[in-house]
Amino acid sequence: MASIALHNIRKSYGSLPVIHGVDVDIEDGEFIVLVGPSGCGKSTLLRMIAGLETISDGQLSIGGRMVNDLPSKDRDIAMVFQSYALYPHLTVAENMGFSLKLRGTAQEEIGRRVQSAAKILALEPYLDRHPRHLSGGQRQRVAMGRAIVRDPKVFLFDEPLSNLDAKLRVAMRAEIKELHQRLKITTVYVTHDQTEAMTMADRIVVMRDGIVEQIGTPLDIYDRPATTFVAGFIGMPA
């Protein structure tokens, strides 16, 4: 677990500014949802936290340590994407252990961590199967398993459920929340779906055009939207 502090974070792509000074303090173990319309900068912000995108200006700290210049691989972070491409020729167990293998972790340790993650995610019966023999929900769990085996201090999710049908999406929301309640890993979860934000977040960060419009609990935001944009966006059907 680790707290995350963003202080006056800015980002430009070339000469085009897209993040205009974002301040957010995320507590240890918190489940934060970044929500806002497409193109408002959610992925950019998440990728800066992950170290996959440089920070143009401002300070980012994770677990009390300034990480602006720390390479992604040293940040103790695991990221789950929307397109969770699994390796089709590898089994579930091999998919989950792959990143550890790349890091030179001993086979025995990989086996132990994969078993433990499989247990948490109810994937034990499927460890020897190949992804094509899994349901959409099971594949999504394998994608989470790949992240869990690394024992990260922070979980980052970028629209992980967008490719799933509506029913499965609702089920997976509950699974991800349950996982968070069990592991208490600090989580930043990006979505453009306000219902997902309202049902999953400890606190919501509402973004618009590269700025933060409001930060608060789902109830705060629902009861007291700070701007007409927030009121309109949160009130809109998904």
- The distance of closest approach from Cβ of residue 191 to ligand ADP in the complex, given in angstroms and rounded to an integer, is 10
Nearest distance in Å: CB 113, Mg ion: 29
Measured distance CA(229)–CA(153) in Å, rounded: 33
Q: Given the rule CB under 5 A, which of 38-46, 54-62, 139-147, 206-214 is the region that contacts Mg ion?
A: 38-46
Applying CB under 6 A, the span of 34-42, 64-72, 116-124, 160-168 interacting with ligand ADP comes to 34-42
- Residue 235 makes contact with ligand ADP by CB under 6 A: no
**Identity of the residue, 43 or 140, whose beta carbon is nearer to Mg ion in the bound complex:** 43
Give residue for tokens 């997902």.
196
Between 43 and 187, whose beta carbon lies closer to Mg ion? 43
44 binds Mg ion (CB under 5 A): no
Does position 83 interact with ligand ADP (CB under 6 A)? The reply is: no
The span of 37-45, 100-108, 149-157, 208-216 binding Mg ion (CB under 5 A) equals 37-45
**CA–CA separation, 145 and 92 (whole Å):** 9
Q: Concatenated DSSP letters for 94-159?
A: HHHHHHHHHTT--HHHHHHHHHHHHHHTT-GGGTTS-GGGS-HHHHHHHHHHHHHTT--SEEEEES
Q: Measure CA 40 to chain center.
A: 17
For residue 13, the minimal CB distance to ligand ADP (Å) is 3
Choosing from 2, 32, 35, 44, the residue that interacts with ligand ADP (CB under 6 A) is 44
Assess 204 for contact with ligand ADP (CB under 6 A). Answer: no
> Residue 208 and residue 233: Cα distance in Å, rounded?
10
Give the number of other Cβ atoms within 10 Å of residue 47's Cβ: 18
Among residues 131, 190, 120, the alpha carbon closest in space to that of 162 is found at 190
Name the residue nearer to ligand ADP (CB basis): 43 or 186: 43
Amino acid at 93: A
Does 39 engage in binding with ligand ADP (CB under 6 A)?
Answer: yes
The secondary element (H helix, E strand) that includes residue 12 is strand 4-13
39 touches, from ligand ADP, Mg ion, none (C-beta below 5 to 8 Å by class): ligand ADP
Partners of 4 in the β-ladder? 26, 62
Query: 29: left (phi > 0), else alpha (psi -120 to 50), else beta?
Result: left
Look at residue 38 and give the partner it binds from ligand ADP, Mg ion, none, a contact being a CB closer than 5 to 8 Å depending on partner kind.
Answer: ligand ADP
Binding site for ligand ADP (CB under 6 A): 13, 18, 36, 38-44
Binding site for Mg ion (CB under 5 A): 43
